[in-house]
């Protein structure tokens, strides 16, 4: 059996257009109030009588079926890690997905790459992959193109817009052109 290319999915930016201007939410998005354990822990855990404010996460329920229709094996590649299966997937109608578990996050890479880039290349282990994220730079794309042994697509998503129909079309075209041959 031929493996489909991997699709590494970041949450904040591609699925949650967190930089959209108030009152100018992209069409189709619904606001959800969330309080994942990692968010609570990151903000003091509610100790000393301090209440942690919940997150407002914008999600478009149409994205779940669109992601599932793509010829990829989807994988969460987000700091939400396993909490993406608990807090994000149900609102999109997605089943639980595999998760990239980060050894560490938000560090400075010695070559100036995004902190996820090397870890995703390692996780993919030579399989073709696409990665959607709002923090991808041309440097990451050049590094992957020059050093990764298989085809890869690093697709930067505008964090004020989230995934759009053109992004889904680009992902589908790329996967169909670069899927492993049986």
- 51 belongs to a structural domain: no
- 43 belongs to a structural domain: no
Q: Mean pLDDT in each 10-residue stretch from start to end of the chain (182 residues)?
A: 87 96 87 87 64 90 98 97 97 98 80 90 96 96 95 97 97 88 52
- 103 belongs to a structural domain: yes
The secondary structure of 42-108, three-state, reads HCHHHHHHCCCCCEEEEECCCHHHHHHHCCCEEEECCCCCCHHHHHHHHHHCCCCCCECCCCCCCCC
- 80 belongs to a structural domain: yes
- 157 belongs to a structural domain: yes
Helices (H) and strands (E) in the chain, counts: 7, 6
CATH number at residue 151: 3.40.50
**What pLDDT shows up at residue 69?**
97
State which residues form the domain around 135: 6-20+59-178
Measured in whole angstroms, the distance separating CA 5 from the mean position of its chain's CA atoms is 15
Please count the structural domains in the chain.
Answer: 1
**What pLDDT shows up at residue 1?**
44
- 166 belongs to a structural domain: yes
- 128 belongs to a structural domain: yes
**What pLDDT shows up at residue 109?**
76
**What pLDDT shows up at residue 48?**
55
Beta pairing partners, 32:
57
Asked if 93 and 61 touch (Cβ cutoff 8 Å), the reply is: yes
The model's pTM is 0.92
């Amino acid at each position: 059996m031929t493996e489909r290319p991997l699709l590494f999915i970041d949450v904040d930016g591609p699925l949650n257009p967190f930089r959209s201007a108030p009152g100018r939410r992209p069409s189709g998005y619904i606001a959800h109030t969330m309080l994942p354990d990692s968010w609570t822990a990151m903000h003091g855990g509610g100790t000393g009588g301090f209440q942690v404010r919940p997150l407002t996460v914008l999600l478009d329920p149409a994205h779940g079926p669109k992601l599932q229709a793509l010829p990829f094996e989807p994988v969460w590649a987000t700091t939400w890690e396993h909490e993406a299966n608990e807090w994000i997937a149900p609102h999109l109608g997605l089943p639980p997905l595999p998760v990239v578990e980060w050894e560490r996050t938000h560090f400075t890479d010695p070559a100036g790459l995004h902190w996820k880039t090397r870890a995703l290349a390692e996780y993919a282990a030579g399989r073709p992959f696409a990665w959607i994220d709002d923090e991808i730079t041309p440097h990451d794309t050049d590094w992957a193109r020059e050093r990764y042994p298989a085809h890869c697509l690093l697709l930067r998503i505008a964090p004020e817009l989230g995934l759009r129909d053109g992004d889904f079309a680009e992902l589908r075209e790329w996967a169909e052109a670069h899927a492993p041959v049986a």
